[in-house]
Structure 1
């Protein structure tokens, strides 16, 4: 048991997060309600209750922060997309729907159900003491109280009950699954003949008049249109820029070193073996006294023969996790064990055996078998690391101090970026941008917020500095339009060769399609004429071979009541494909095993039924969503 606690400390943290956080990620934004009530702008209503814009924005910011904590190297804008915002809104609505349904159905979780769930859930086994009580020490190590944890568990169980009846009711036999998968994964033996536009292109020689007519056709104008753009100059205030303007003295670096000794040392660790005689805290005094007496007996035996400690532990220790290893707990640092055990272990000398140590698990006899760590790196060894950290902190402090001044200055002196660049020692950079970030854009130029400002009336037509925007944490940027380039059609002379290439491709594809359709008609009239058809091959949804997706979809949709069956389709990749289906084949038996198929089939039905029931609840609870619910908040 003690060995488990030590070795699974990180597992405890991870599983605890898995158990607790989903209630907040998907359902637990209710705690924001007092804050939300101050907003009159609702994004949705559930059972007559509003989800305010303030709640939605707060929940989405919280979600972004959680994602950034998990993936710190990704740009924050990757999380703030219309799809991500819609996901946040869907989760908020789902939380409200299920809570409302729970209330209407009078679903509650009694203390007995709560305790039973805690005792039965294998994922919570590491939180249970041998007597089934909650391990308070492990919860406290994560800053959680027993009451708080159990309340969250109660809420989670209560909400699960709403969907449990539907989610647990689906039945699917292996025979049903087999029939469904046989249909889905049916194989077809086919022959193909391809008519590639490239093979026709060499013979096409359009005249200048044809090329110009193609250029002038309004249907083709988008090919020759130059997108609206703006040539801008911009300045960026961020930590990287400010790091270049700050310095740190030796005294500051040494003070940081002295104040953070723990960071620059190798943690001290001990290795120990122990013998545990279990004694529950709530046990009768006589039983505890008996356990302690047994531990005293074993201590006396251990001291008579210290070299035989491992054998003694194997035969007598009641810690199942370590007894098989002779009581060995491997190396552990401070904070890994309960305090009485830790204090005793760190007070022992190498090879020394402790007195009997009492903890919440019982009585221990401890032998120290090794120690390591405790060394400290010198200042010179970590100077570069310290300097980077101190400069970052100084830059952060300066950013906090200067951000508001930067914001005010680009607004108050809006006819130029030079004053703000001079004051904050920033480089004025230049770029050409469009209304949407270009594929290769990075940093501030990838910010939709900045581009919206650039193409706003004040910046675009009045040539004023944009408002300072924050495209990322600890980054502020302002831009100025130097030249506006409206969307425009390029002249025929500029795009003559481009127009010629597009026209040739169009005409070549038309000829390929015409040739393919002619071959298809000929094949239908004379089914024995197989000239040009390739070797037979087997295709299915799991085995596309070299068949384009659109063609495969067409093949699998053709009526096969009479074989052979012939058809043709434009692949969308410059090729027209004529194909013949010769025969049907059962699915590949090795594609999926029967047991797994039945499980997937049942899961699919369960998901479908749960979704249907949830949609029914949404209708019953009159869920209404505003048209711009998931739009970005106004700046």
Structure 2
């Protein structure tokens, strides 16, 4: 049988069948069998080639001809963490870390990164290039690198080295270049927007428009007393079920430790005080400063051994030249240094203190004597040749000058120590007996306090503290009944809480909210009656009756207000909006309308005349500002349209499981 099978699969028919099957496998799904997918990204953006914009989205074509870029998991996580920290700083104690970790927030951050990736890929496909001069201009304009409003090379170096993670100037400049490439296209599109003088005049006529309005206020009808049937009540309850829910509630007992209430001796030992002064003396003395210049021979991070050796030899030659008796270090720096920030100033880095430049650079600097030049020093930036120009030793201070300050600090430290020791002892006691606060309260000599059941956001006192709320409504406390970890609610103020009762969110039964439903049904009937009465009056106005006649038959007063501008609350902001939504009336006619107000009353009105704004009344400065503002709005809209268009032309793959 095997021989027969071999014979039947060896002919030209079998070869043809295999060839036909190979075509769809080559384009659809074959990569799943041929290649192992080791991709590690949160999102991927792919675009067809510019020379074949209609290229099909087939695997083989996409692999060969399409260009792509990725949003890595690391990039997403760093951006998301930075967003979390911004929200934490902005919201303070109200920040809820658990609520922030939602898929919606993660997708929002990822979508921003995808937009950036789309723009980056579009810039690459359009061959957009950013020159060095533009990069340097942007760097010089960053406030973090400036001193007294001017770019400072020393501040630039220190800021980059102290960043987390530290970055070299080359890396930072590359990031700036990429940002400029990515934003150049939408920025230029936005800046190209403008409005014509005719458009500005039309807008000013609209913004400055005034309307002559007549209106009457129809009071709300009397509250109905008619009974609400069971069917009406049931239908209303089902249609507005979200209104009739009781929120999740917890009741608490807690133990509060306030460091300010702990008694201290208040006495300070003089010998200990003097010993403490010797330990912290540097706080009260001016730190030693050193005025330094340098020459940098830059070494790329990926340089080979030969390149590194050549850079080291060049630095050694320059150091030898700088040590010559007639050497001009500033001139050497201008001619040889690869540091664009300081070479123009003769290598000047300004005054430096310990801790500003860590590692070999600082060690070499503080080993020099004034006027000396160092041997080449290696850092992440390359090889440095340092020259120490001047030393400022700082000023000293006597013990008697700071005695009172140190004594106050020692008393505060004693109170803090007592507070920390007590909190630590309570934590240990709770770890031994996590289901009760009583042993901890006995140890602390503090009473256990209680809080009646409250909903999230409806508590007071410590129950209004966001950290307490997060713990109180956490599953660990609501389900297990254990005592919480220490919760810091202020400086030297800590509480330990335990949930004594927990009521999950639940739907309120119909019979419990029947009175509320009846009141709402009656109020809804009244609103419907008010709207029907107002609509009846508007219909009569459309048929030719006058507002005065309708008002007189209903004992209502007509108010006539000429020249109402946009936004004027006459008699209510909602009414003003309705006036300007109404169509302009024909000559000798009026446009009727109505609007219901929040108190149940209705405003029935007629727009009697429309007077356009006069552009001639605006000064040239006002007109220019209007054109600028409107142009910026239109430009931003154009940039958003461009972003959406670019996204529609690309294939975007999102892996939510990796967020």
Residue from 597, 612, 623 that aligns with 1:571: 597
CA offsets, 1:90-143, max 9 Å, x none?
Answer: 44334443444444445454xxx22354258772699699xxx97432324546
CA positional deviation for 1:614 = 1.9
8 Å Cα contact 1:215/1:221 also seen in 2: no
Distance 1:612 1:66, change over 3 A: same
CA distance in 2, matches of 1:60, 1:504: 49
CA distance in 1, matches of 2:255, 2:112: 36
Residue from 97, 100, 118 that aligns with 2:136: 118
8 Å Cα contact 2:251/2:501 also seen in 1: yes
Residue from 81, 84, 96 that aligns with 1:64: 84
Partner of 2:197: 175
Distance 1:584 1:502, change over 3 A: same
CA distance in 2, matches of 1:100, 1:44: 13
3-state SS of the aligned residue for 1:526? coil
CA offsets, 1:419-474, max 9 Å, x none?
Answer: 56667888655335566433765215763564242796xx1xxx643876979999
CA distance in 2, matches of 1:60, 1:398: 38
Partner of 1:610: 639
Residue from 571, 580, 583 that aligns with 1:559: 583
CA distance in 2, matches of 1:254, 1:67: 45
Residue from 595, 598, 606 that aligns with 1:580: 606
Residue from 519, 533, 536 that aligns with 2:561: 536
Partner of 1:193: 215
The TM-score with structure 2 as length reference comes to 0.56
CA distance in 2, matches of 1:103, 1:151: 19
CA distance in 1, matches of 2:80, 2:424: 24
CA distance in 2, matches of 1:570, 1:586: 27
Partner of 1:92: 113
1:380 aligns with 2:399: no
What are the within-5 Å matches in structure 2 for residues 396-435 of structure 1?
A: 413=434, 415-418=435-438, 428-432=448-452
Distance 1:537 1:90, change over 3 A: farther
8 Å Cα contact 1:97/1:618 also seen in 2: yes
Distance 1:127 1:235, change over 3 A: closer
CA offsets, 1:568-625, max 9 Å, x none?
Answer: 1223442322121122222375598111111112211221121122223333443345
CA positional deviation for 1:86 = 5.8
CA distance in 1, matches of 2:630, 2:598: 33
3-state SS of the aligned residue for 1:545? coil
Distance 1:471 1:290, change over 3 A: closer
Distance 1:260 1:160, change over 3 A: same
Distance 1:245 1:406, change over 3 A: farther
CA distance in 1, matches of 2:109, 2:232: 47
What are the within-5 Å matches in structure 2 for residues 152-231 of structure 1?
A: 152-169=172-189, 170-175=192-197, 177-179=199-201, 181-182=203-204, 185=207, 187-195=209-217, 197=219, 200-201=221-222, 204=223, 206=225, 209-210=227-228, 218-219=236-237, 225=244, 227-231=246-250
Unpaired stretches in structure 2, ≥5 consecutive residues: 1-37, 47-67, 289-320, 332-344, 346-350, 355-364, 371-385, 552-556
What are the within-5 Å matches in structure 2 for residues 44-55 of structure 1?
A: 44-47=43-46
CA positional deviation for 1:567 = 1.0
CA distance in 1, matches of 2:137, 2:657: 46
What are the within-5 Å matches in structure 2 for residues 229-248 of structure 1?
A: 229-235=248-254
Distance 1:478 1:127, change over 3 A: closer
8 Å Cα contact 1:211/1:503 also seen in 2: no
Unpaired stretches in structure 1, ≥5 consecutive residues: 1-38, 270-281, 292-318, 320-331, 345-359, 365-370, 631-635
Distance 1:605 1:224, change over 3 A: closer
Larger radius of gyration: 2
CA offsets, 1:188-232, max 9 Å, x none?
Answer: 4142535455x533xx4615x449887666438769846144342
Partner of 1:18: none
Residue from 531, 545, 556 that aligns with 2:569: 545
Greater shift after overlay, 85-94 or 613-622? 85-94
Partner of 1:598: 627
Partner of 1:76: 95
Distance 1:471 1:525, change over 3 A: farther
CA distance in 2, matches of 1:469, 1:50: 42
CA offsets, 1:157-209, max 9 Å, x none?
Answer: 32222332332242314415405623652524142535455x533xx4615x4
What are the within-5 Å matches in structure 2 for residues 304-343 of structure 1?
A: none
Partner of 1:519: 537
CA distance in 2, matches of 1:520, 1:108: 64
8 Å Cα contact 2:212/2:610 also seen in 1: no
Partner of 2:153: 136
**What is the number of equivalent residue pairs in this alignment?**
496
